[in-house]
Structure 1
């Protein structure tokens, strides 16, 4: 992923990142509060040698002292030194337990030994540090004592710093724990956000589509939470951003398949509930508003929706014409300003695929193309059934609808493969349910404040009834 991808992920998942950071900070704070405070006290012992005072003796004594410091540092935590401390302070500890509370270090190239004791009781920490330094001094004096009682010991330990009672605890370090908690929470939040984005196979933007196919995206329909209440947004609210999305799709559609004389398109999708029927209806209305003579055909012979959306009678329609039970001129219904005509699905048949691939359907397609400027077919989704693929092969162009945030990448691949397997050409892809805010926002968020000319009348008014596109007489002449 590129840098802009990570920035988009951070913008998209900032709530998750902030929440995990706050949780980690709260956990670190609770841990710090519940942890028992511990205090640290330190005493220091100086190691010196007895020498005659000559220069060579001083040099040799200094080297000897530095070497001895390392030995005495290890000696400070042995039972030889600790047992007298336990006895003198009457500690209820073993030498091994006391050893874990003591830290002994020697400063580099010096003769000073630091004895640090950490304990929940500050007074006891100071007492133990002083007792250990005193016991170490006496223990070394005993070990280094020559066999001749009258001779002086070559090494002498002197306590140069007495441990004082500490006031502030060394642990827990509340600021450090909170800072570490914030860093851990931030890293965890960013990691989960990136992981979630990596594992998410849903299509959310045009970039996701480009990762699946090189088919052109010819339009993007913005999300409308009231889409179920007003599916015909181009008619109901022509100034809305969503209505402008359909007009943009209409404009792009004019440049598709310029070498094809017939301007017929099958609108389909990978799965259901992706907005193909509302896209078909609104696109047909937008084309008719631009002056084109448009026929909207409900070719979804399994779950037809067009008659319901357009508020027309749908009991008789395409299936009745295909089986010879009705005449085409009797079932095509005008809608709106006289440029849009609707052919509902009619009765739901037991064999939709066979009807859409029949010779009668091929004859109807030729008649549609002779009579209308543009024909829009609303068809079933591609993955559950083969109806749309069969119809798209006959029509000559398919528009695949992709619901942003709902359609999976493998579903889009399967839909494209279904069309390609029968040789049906794909005219373009349309993204629906696009967000107008956020990192994946579509670029129509501010169009609603601009006008688009006249208002298209009262949205509650019944569509104007006009003459049918052709009569039986004109069809016979043709």
Structure 2
């Protein structure tokens, strides 16, 4: 991951990071609220050695000896032996080890100054224990450092030079400091979690990753838009939105796949469900109808049909009745929400959907529809869960394969590509759907969003039947207009 990838990651995962920071503040607040208030008192001792002469060598060696002893004395200050001495001195009924646990020792760097700090819930008790340490510790050192069987004085002595001193304010808890530490720790944990999630994530997120696992022409990218769940027909209800413009680019690139004008039946499918294929299909149908083509949407997903619901039409009659001979196409086809757009819904749910779409009747039906419509868009089931999707892809003249960014793993997308290759489906384009990268899908976002804010869109006059006039400001690209547009992936990026 590059620095830009990390910045994009922080922008995409800001909710996780903020939530972790708030959680850290809450936990720190709980600790502050329930932690006992503690006070601190300290006493400072000077460690020195007894010198028999005043030579510089002896003085240097004595200094080294003092510094060496100081490191060992830090353990004595918080040990059981001194704790027992303090309990005896103050006449306490406490456990000596409990008293010793309240003592912490520190050494000033490159000095022979030893500081003992006592923390306790009572300021008076903390000061008393510090005073007892100042009295008992020098005697303990003298006893330990006195030469055996000798009348000589101890080689090392400890002298109180400061204290006991009581801190005027409580040392624990410190609300502002503790809350700040909690916030910082929470934000750090949030960043780590976000990076780990991205590192361990095997889903396809970018067009580069998509090209590796599904090496087919990129028809375009559609950015994440939460309103699609409630307003699926964004080409009708939000025609000047950025996602609508991205869809028009996809429509133009679908046309670029049909350079020889032989592609009439196009199946729209995905690797697994919930990748937005039905939403893409109905909006692609609207874009093609608005461009002047006579379009039929066939609800080929007989298990979980959604196209009729998105178009606001009935799914009670349709394809299954035509295939079983109970009705003709003219009896069940429905007019769509736009001129030149019609729907052949799924009809009653059959017990054998795979057998129905693989039947000779399905092939004959598609052959008939090729003669009647400029474009037939088939909403096919996902390829991996069931066999229906691959059967419809083989019957179609072309396939639009959609991948939901950050949702489908690369392994599943690669498997779907291999299935299409094995089945001999060659004319395939891919759409990266619901991408969260701000650079994808919003090619004309600023321009069209600004136009939407400043003025309501003026509906263009309905084009005459058979014409290819697009109602938007961007006309449908012609294959002869620019040789660079012959590459669908390039055309998708230029749009």
Displacement, 1:290?
A: 1.4
Matches within 5 A, 1:385-404: 385-404=386-405
Instruction: Note the alpha carbon deviations across 1:406-427, whole angstroms, 9 max, x for none.
Output: 5455543444344334222352
> Which residue in the other structure is 1:377 paired with?
378
Give the SS at the match of 2:8.
helix
> Which residue in the other structure is 1:353 paired with?
354
Instruction: Note the alpha carbon deviations across 1:281-318, whole angstroms, 9 max, x for none.
Output: 33223212212333333333445555555566766654
In the alignment, which of 45, 48, 51 is matched to residue 49 of structure 1?
51
In the alignment, which of 128, 131, 148 is matched to residue 127 of structure 1?
131
> Which residue in the other structure is 1:63 paired with?
61
> Which residue in the other structure is 1:10 paired with?
10
Displacement, 1:265?
A: 0.8
Give the SS at the match of 1:49.
coil
> Which residue in the other structure is 1:284 paired with?
285
Instruction: Note the alpha carbon deviations across 1:123-181, whole angstroms, 9 max, x for none.
Output: 3144224313552586489758955xxxx859685847252433346944747655544
* Counterpart-to-counterpart distance in 1, 2:25 and 2:364: 71
> Is the radius of gyration larger for structure 1 or structure 2?
1
* Counterpart-to-counterpart distance in 1, 2:268 and 2:411: 19
> Which residue in the other structure is 1:21 paired with?
21
* Counterpart-to-counterpart distance in 1, 2:288 and 2:366: 19
Give the SS at the match of 2:46.
strand
Aligned partners of 1:43 and 1:133 also within 8 Å:
no
* Counterpart-to-counterpart distance in 1, 2:343 and 2:86: 101
Asked if 1:216 is matched to 2:217, the reply is: yes
Structure 2: stretches of 5+ with no match in the other structure: 467-495
In 2 relative to 1, CA 404–122 (structure 1 residues): closer, same or farther, beyond 3 Å? Answer: same
Give the SS at the match of 1:292.
coil
In the alignment, which of 36, 39, 42 is matched to residue 37 of structure 1?
39
- Taking structure 1 as the reference length, the TM-score comes to 0.73
In 2 relative to 1, CA 331–30 (structure 1 residues): closer, same or farther, beyond 3 Å? Answer: closer
* Counterpart-to-counterpart distance in 2, 1:389 and 1:455: 39
Displacement, 1:194?
A: 2.1
Matches within 5 A, 1:324-363: 324=325, 326=327, 339-346=340-347, 348-363=349-364
Q: How many residues align?
A: 451
C-alpha RMSD over aligned residues: 4.6
Give the SS at the match of 1:215.
coil
Displacement, 1:384?
A: 3.5
Give the SS at the match of 1:130.
helix
In 2 relative to 1, CA 94–259 (structure 1 residues): closer, same or farther, beyond 3 Å? Answer: same
Displacement, 1:251?
A: 1.0
> Which residue in the other structure is 2:188 paired with?
187
* Counterpart-to-counterpart distance in 2, 1:303 and 1:139: 89
Matches within 5 A, 1:140-219: 143=147, 153=153, 157=157, 159=159, 161-168=161-168, 171-172=171-172, 174=174, 177-178=178-179, 180-200=181-201, 203=204, 206=207, 209-210=210-211, 212-219=213-220
In the alignment, which of 435, 441, 455 is matched to residue 459 of structure 2?
455
Structure 1: stretches of 5+ with no match in the other structure: 459-463, 467-478
- Taking structure 2 as the reference length, the TM-score comes to 0.71
Displacement, 1:74?
A: 5.4
In 2 relative to 1, CA 161–133 (structure 1 residues): closer, same or farther, beyond 3 Å? Answer: farther
Displacement, 1:377?
A: 1.8
In 2 relative to 1, CA 63–308 (structure 1 residues): closer, same or farther, beyond 3 Å? Answer: closer
Give the SS at the match of 1:163.
strand
* Counterpart-to-counterpart distance in 2, 1:445 and 1:408: 28
Aligned partners of 1:41 and 1:122 also within 8 Å:
no
Aligned partners of 2:270 and 2:403 also within 8 Å:
yes
* Counterpart-to-counterpart distance in 2, 1:315 and 1:133: 94
In 2 relative to 1, CA 93–410 (structure 1 residues): closer, same or farther, beyond 3 Å? Answer: same
Residues 224-233 or 243-252, more deviating? 224-233
Give the SS at the match of 2:249.
helix
In 2 relative to 1, CA 450–134 (structure 1 residues): closer, same or farther, beyond 3 Å? Answer: closer
